Amino acid sequence: MGILTNDMRRMLNEQQLGFIATVCPDGTPNLSPKGTTAVWDDAHLIFADICSPNTIANLRQNPVLEINIVDTLSRKGYRFKGIATIVSEGPQFEELLDFYRKRGSTSVKRHIVLVKVERAAPLISPAYDTGQSEVQVSVRWRTYWDELWGRRSKQWTEWGYASQVRTSHDLVGSPKKQG
């Protein structure tokens, strides 16, 4: 059995956006969001290099990294520390590309990074230290994101992009009428 729990897998499958921290040659951190972060198996995560020359260069010099995944509503997540292997050709590369194709990804991928997870730990917001429940924290952040979406939608409409702005009802459907 691998290090990845069912809850970690759920979180990764739901969120997909991972923040990948690598070390630059001068010792400074490099943080890069990757919308292709996924579970490969019980002990490995993967992400694709779509346009990440610094991340790949850093990993070639020093393969250690950390990946953070956070649910922006519940303010909970996980950090994964591990060792990266860059895969860019051969049968394993084709297998990894096929994984992304089956998920509907069509972007060109120069490399796939396979991460052997050595340590995993939860990330939990200090909001929970005040006794708030997950529902309370989630409702507070859902309200924030809805208000932000409303402000941006209004701004985009003012700029002439009204036909491209969709409401949350458009995305999930209007509630069904009783009757």
- Boundaries of domain holding 30: 6-125
- What's residue 113's pLDDT? 98
Cα 40 to its chain centre, rounded Å, is 14
28 and 113 together in one domain: yes
136 and 117 together in one domain: no
Please give the mean pLDDT across all residues of the chain: 91
CATH number, position 56: 2.30.110.10
Strands 111-124 and 44-49, sheet pairing? antiparallel
Residue-by-residue DSSP string for 85-125 = EEE-SHHHHHHHHHHHHHTT--S--SEEEEEEEEEEEEEE-
| Neighbouring residues of 151: CB distance < 8 A, sequence distance ≥ 6 | none
Domains in the chain, number = 2
Q: Please choose, from the candidates 153, 158, 157, the residue with its C-alpha nearest in 3D space to the C-alpha of residue 168.
A: 153
Q: Are 117 and 3 in contact (CB under 8 A)?
A: yes
74 and 96 together in one domain: yes
Q: Are 87 and 121 in contact (CB under 8 A)?
A: no
143 and 121 together in one domain: no
- Residue ending a domain, choose from 105, 125, 145: 125
112 and 137 together in one domain: no
pLDDT tens-place string over residues 117-159: 999 999 999 999 999 999 999 999 999 999 999 998 888 888 8
116 and 160 together in one domain: no
For the entire predicted model, the pTM comes to 0.86
* Residue 178: band (very low, low, confident or very high) from pLDDT cuts 50, 70, 90: very low
118 and 143 together in one domain: no
pLDDT tens-place string over residues 11-37: 999 998 999 999 999 999 999 999 999
120 and 42 together in one domain: yes
Q: Is 176 within a domain?
A: no
